[in-house]
Amino acid sequence: MTAPVEAASTGGDAGRAPVALLLVSHSRDLAAGTLELAAQMAPSVLLVAAGGLEDGGIGTSYDLIEAGLGRAADGGRSVVILTDLGSAVLTAESVLEFLDDEVRARVRLADAPFVEGSIAAAVAADGGQDVEAVLGAAELAGATFARSGGAAPSEHGPVPASMRATAVLRNPLGLHARPAAQLARTAASFEAVVTVNGVDAASVLALIGLGAVGGQQVVVTAAGPQARAALVAVIDEIEAGFGEA
């Protein structure tokens, strides 16, 4: 039997986060590619891909999913499962039916778009959030990209901009996946509501949806008990070019 593909660890951090992700796809390449993309933004998260059939063909394998889930849940980690198509959901549900109750209680099956949900969930898990928050981030990803223009407004509703600043994106590619994830983690670490060009700065998908490129000026606002610290941290990251300038 072909073993599930596991994310390579950079610096030995993978698996440090309390929530792991299991990526279930009909395609081995799609599962592995999504894993590779998410791993770039979530180095502390154990990511396991169970894609395709044992022989590399298109389909879903009960045995691969079962083995992948066992690896993801090892050590008491909680697990969020992302799937690509309906039959992948059915196969994953079949695996869940035969789990021990203790393990089953730590597993959630997300109703979310596969790639976008995997990215959002990985970033949330990398930020140390619990399994319900990681599940919520994955499922919110579908609503984010269903909106016109791809970018979502802050989920907190209208936010009084108690503090405001502007900055220029100094890295050539702007808010692509890795910088967006870095900025989202920073924004989420403060007790404040932070927006960039009107979207929730704690949402990596909303930031990517802005399509902001190098040289573009962005407007950052912050409100809440830690608004000043959050604003300074976000502006500093933008002006530093996310290590890419």
Among the listed residues 21, 22, 24, 26, the single catalytic one is: 26
Q: Strands 199-200 and 193-196, how do they pair?
A: antiparallel
pLDDT interval class at 232 (50, 70, 90)? very high
Widest pairwise Cα distance in the chain: 58
pLDDT interval class at 149 (50, 70, 90)? very low
In the predicted structure, residue 97 carries a pLDDT above the cut 90: yes
CA dihedral 141, 147, 149, 154 (to 10 degrees): -70
pLDDT tens-digit series, residues 153-162: 444 444 454 7
Domains and CATH numbers, the chain: 5-146 (3.40.50.510), 163-243 (3.30.1340.10)
In the predicted structure, residue 191 carries a pLDDT above the cut 70: yes
156 carries an active-site annotation: no
pLDDT at 108: 98
pLDDT at 5: 62
User: CA-CA distance, 79 to 88, in Å (whole number)?
Assistant: 16
Pair of tokens at residue 74: 């090892």
pLDDT interval class at 9 (50, 70, 90)? very low
Radius of gyration of the CA atoms of the chain, in A: 18
pLDDT tens-digit series, residues 68-89: 999 999 999 999 999 998 889 9
Which of these ranges, 7-11, 53-57, 92-96, has the smallest mean pLDDT?
Answer: 7-11
User: CA-CA distance, 31 to 53, in Å (whole number)?
Assistant: 12
Please say whether the beta carbons of 142 and 113 come within 8 A: yes
